């Protein structure tokens, strides 16, 4: 049935084209008055028959993407002509808070805000009438059952128009739009997007240096793009977060998107892989297209090493190599990224194809280490914000203890969870559960560091290797000419690129 309909549609469109190609000029002018223009609309252009998209049929395609901030502001101003707005309402601020909203969503948002304003006015009038009724009620009679119901029924049965004085305060305020934002879901979210996450930096509890780097790489370009454009800088950038597992790389990406008030799309590496030829590449193209249409958007790739492994490493890896090539094409900016920011996370940066780490792609590498003692204390305080803690528990002492050394953020979360479980096992029916120091001691017997000392040393060495390869920190090259003038360098007892932490740990072991 569908094939016959498509065949008939193709024949009819070809017939229209043959009528347009009339050779006689007079005949062509006469036919212009009855010229037929065929316009089609679809949400799935790839689902159409390819013959319909040939020249002479639907030969012009116009993509109506998700509006950006400026377009959303213009749409809101058109909607505002029909509404009664308060004087302090800022439509530009509303446009900033509505990434991913299309025209229909903004129309629904305006209607919901108007309904909220009307409800607010009616509640004020009801409160005034209830106050008058209470003043006129005899105290000795007391309340009657069903009085409110009869009052409401009377209003419905005998409605009256509101006066100009009662309508004086009827105006849509910023609070009405804020309430409407919680009720109107953007179309982007219904199509699979994860809009601005509800994770904040307060939930991270540590990683201050990483936060500052991400702030100036992603949050600031979104908040103040004109400053970066004035300096001739490209506001879109790519960041690779690497480090031991369980250190909060995913949490950091979500907190960054929340701070920047941007859309957030999270993709795990294997989700884009498909056994059929060409399907993985199409999934990558579709992903970047959706991210560009919902800008500003943070595109987060988790387990990047499984999605973009090194090419030419041998074996039957042609499918992964095609995905890498498609990713490189999208990252190179053949089409403008349009305020699309890339964040990738991995535990094995050495397994990622080196072409991914070149400038213009994932050009900023940020190491997410195991938390130091003060970082562990901040994370524990964040994890125990909603946990009833006894007075004998000292969070700072727990974080500084030898038993907590080498714990990642995930290990600390597991520690708090085990302590809470131990507290629940020991409570009685009437007692209020509280986590004590004894419960934390019991939890330490069940939770061990997930990153061994050998793995920690390997990650530190990998970080120094990446720094040397990229030349981000290379003191030897910057001071080479001075050393040549001063003579041969003195023999050093250790590598200048090494951190102080391994040496301190070695001294501690030696003293032990």
CATH number for 236: 3.40.50.300
**Cβ neighbours around 372 below 10 Å, total:** 12
- Give the pair of three-digit tokens for residue 237: 């950038």
d(CA 428, CA 133): 50
Q: What is the pLDDT of residue 238?
A: 87
- Is residue 10 scored above 70 in pLDDT? yes
DSSP string, 429-460: SSSPP-B-HHHHHHHHTT---SS-HHHHHHHH
Q: Could you tell me if 94 and 228 lie in one domain?
A: no
**Structure tokens that stand for 54 in this block:** 């040939």
Q: Are residues 305 and 382 in the same domain?
A: no
Tokens encoding 135: 């003043």
More confident residue, 250 or 129: 250
Going from the C-alpha of 26 to that of each of 23, 30, 31, the distances in angstroms are: 9, 6, 9
Task: Give the pLDDT of residue 106.
Answer: 93
The verdict on residue 121 lying in a domain is yes
Q: Which residue has the higher pLDDT, 152 or 392?
A: 392
**Token pair belonging to 72:** 């959303």
Q: Is 70 helix (H, G, I), strand (E, B) or coil?
A: helix
pLDDT at 491 over 50: no
- Domains of the chain: total: 4
Residues 471 and 478 sit within 8 Å (Cβ to Cβ): no
* Residue 401: CATH number of its domain: 1.10.8.60
In contact, 405 and 451? CB cutoff 8 Å: no
Chain Cα centroid distance, residue 112: 25
| Range 222-236 average pLDDT | 79
Q: Is the pLDDT of residue 477 over 50?
A: no
User: Is residue 353 scored above 60 in pLDDT?
Assistant: yes
Specify the length of the chain in residues.
Answer: 512
Same domain, 213 and 361: yes
Using a 10 angstrom Cβ sphere, with 0-12 exposed, 13-18 middle and 19 or more buried, the burial of residue 62 is exposed
Question: Rg of the chain over CA atoms, in angstroms?
Answer: 32
Predicted local distance difference test score (pLDDT) of residue 31: 59
Selected residue with higher pLDDT from 405 and 426: 405
230 and 307 in a single domain? The answer is: yes
Share of the chain above pLDDT 70, in %: 75
Output the pTM of the full model: 0.67
Q: Which of 427, 446, 465 is the last residue of a domain?
A: 446
Domain span including residue 412: 373-446
Domain shared by 347 and 207, yes or no: yes
Final residue before a domain boundary, out of 314, 346, 367: 367
Residue 225: pLDDT band with limits 50, 70, 90: confident
The last residue of a domain, from among 397, 416, 446: 446
Angstrom distances, CA of residue 402 to CA of 230, 393, 499? 51, 16, 20
Q: 396-424, pLDDT tens digit by residue?
A: 999 988 888 889 989 999 999 999 998 88
Q: Is residue 415 part of a domain?
A: yes
Is the dihedral angle over the CA atoms 148, 150, 155, 156 positive or is it negative?
positive
- Could you read off the pLDDT of 279-331 as tens digits, one per residue? 888 888 888 887 877 777 888 998 888 888 888 766 566 777 888 888 888 88
Residues 44 and 97 in one domain: no
Same structural domain for residues 377 and 393?
Answer: yes
Q: What is the pLDDT of residue 506?
A: 39
| Nearest residue to 79 via CA among 102, 105, 110 | 110
CA distance 47 to 317: 29
User: Residue 504's CB: how many other CB atoms inside 10 A?
Assistant: 10
- Greater model confidence, 234 or 453: 453
Rounded Cα distance between 436 and 420, Å, is 9
Q: Of 134-148, 162-176, 457-471, which gets the smallest average pLDDT?
A: 134-148
Report pLDDT digits (tens) over 84-106: 888 888 898 898 888 778 899 99
- Residue 17 forms part of a structural domain: yes
8 A C-beta contact, residue 56 and residue 14: yes
pLDDT at 88: 82
Q: Is residue 270 within 8 Å of residue 304, measured between CB atoms?
A: no
> Do 234 and 331 belong together in one domain?
yes
Q: Taking residues 102-111, report their average pLDDT.
A: 91
Are 207 and 95 contained in the same domain? no
Q: What is the pLDDT of residue 74?
A: 94
- Poorest-confidence range of 125-139, 358-372, 413-427, 473-487? 473-487
Bridge partners of 299, per DSSP, are 265, 342
**Domain check: are 334 and 387 in the same one?**
no
| C-alpha span between 256 and 261 (Å, rounded) | 9
Query: Is residue 434, in this structure, part of any structural domain at all?
Result: yes
pLDDT at 187 over 90: no
Residue 22 lies in a domain: yes
Tell me how crowded residue 336 is: count the other CB atoms within 10 A of its CB. 11
Does residue 66 register a pLDDT over 80?
Answer: no
Q: Is residue 504 part of a domain?
A: no
Q: Is residue 487 part of a domain?
A: no
The answer to the question of residue 247 being in a domain is: yes
Q: What is the mean pLDDT of residues 260-271?
A: 80
Residues 216 and 348 in one domain: yes
Q: Which candidate, 69, 66, 68, places its Cα nearest to that of 92?
A: 69
């Amino acid at each position: 049935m569908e094939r016959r309909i498509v065949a008939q549609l193709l024949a009819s469109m070809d017939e229209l084209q043959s009528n347009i190609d009339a050779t006689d000029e007079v005949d062509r002018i006469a036919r212009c008055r009855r010229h037929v223009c065929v316009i089609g609309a679809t949400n799935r252009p790839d689902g159409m028959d390819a013959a319909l998209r040939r020249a002479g049929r639907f030969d012009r395609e116009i993509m109506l993407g998700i509006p950006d901030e400026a377009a959303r502001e213009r749409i809101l101003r058109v909607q505002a002509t029909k509404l009664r707005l308060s004087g302090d309402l800022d439509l530009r601020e509303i446009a900033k808070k509505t990434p991913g909203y299309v025209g229909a969503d903004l129309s629904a948002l305006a209607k919901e805000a108007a309904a909220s304003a009307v409800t607010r006015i009616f509640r004020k009038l009801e409160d005034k009438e209830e106050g008058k009724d209470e003043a006129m009620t005899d105290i000795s009679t007391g309340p009657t059952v069903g009085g409110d119901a009869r009052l409401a029924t009377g209003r419905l049965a005998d409605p009256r128009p509101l006066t100009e004085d009662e309508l004086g305060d009827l105006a849509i305020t910023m609070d009405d739009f804020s309430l409407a934002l919680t009720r109107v879901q953007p179309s982007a979210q219904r199509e699979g997007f994860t809009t601005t996450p509800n994770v904040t930096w307060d939930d991270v509890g540590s990683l201050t240096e990483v936060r500052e780097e991400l702030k100036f790489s992603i949050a600031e370009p979104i908040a103040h793009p004109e400053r970066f454009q004035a300096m001739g800088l490209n506001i879109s950038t790519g960041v690779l977060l690497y480090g031991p597992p369980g250190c909060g790389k995913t949490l950091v990406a979500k907190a960054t998107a929340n701070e920047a008030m941007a859309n957030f799309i999270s993709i795990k590496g294997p989700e884009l892989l498909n056994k059929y030829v060409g399907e993985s590449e199409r999934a990558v193209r579709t992903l970047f297209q959706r991210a560009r249409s919902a800008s500003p958007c943070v595109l987060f790739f988790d387990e990047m090493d499984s999605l973009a492994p090194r090419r030419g490493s041998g074996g039957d890896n042609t499918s992964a190599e095609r995905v890498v090539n498609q990713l490189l094409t999208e990252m190179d900016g053949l089409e403008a990224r349009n305020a699309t920011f890339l964040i990738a996370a991995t535990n094995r940066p050495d397994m990622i194809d080196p072409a991914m780490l070149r400038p213009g792609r994932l050009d900023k590498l940020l190491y997410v280490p195991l938390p130091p003692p003060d970082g562990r204390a901040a994370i524990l305080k964040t994890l125990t914000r909603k946990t009833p803690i006894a007075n004998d528990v000292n969070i700072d002492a727990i974080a500084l203890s030898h038993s907590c050394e080498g714990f990642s953020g995930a290990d600390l979360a597991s520690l708090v969870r085990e302590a809470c479980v131990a507290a629940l096992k020991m409570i009685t029916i009437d007692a209020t559960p509280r986590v004590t120091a004894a419960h934390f001691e019991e939890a330490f017997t069940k939770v061990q560091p997930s990153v061994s000392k050998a793995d920690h040393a390997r990650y530190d060495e990998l970080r120094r290797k990446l720094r040397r390869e990229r030349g981000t920190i290379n003191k030897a090259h910057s001071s080479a000419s001075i050393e040549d003038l001063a003579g041969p360098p003195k023999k050093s007892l250790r590598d200048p690129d090494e951190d102080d932490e391994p040496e301190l740990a070695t001294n501690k072991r030696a003293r032990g």
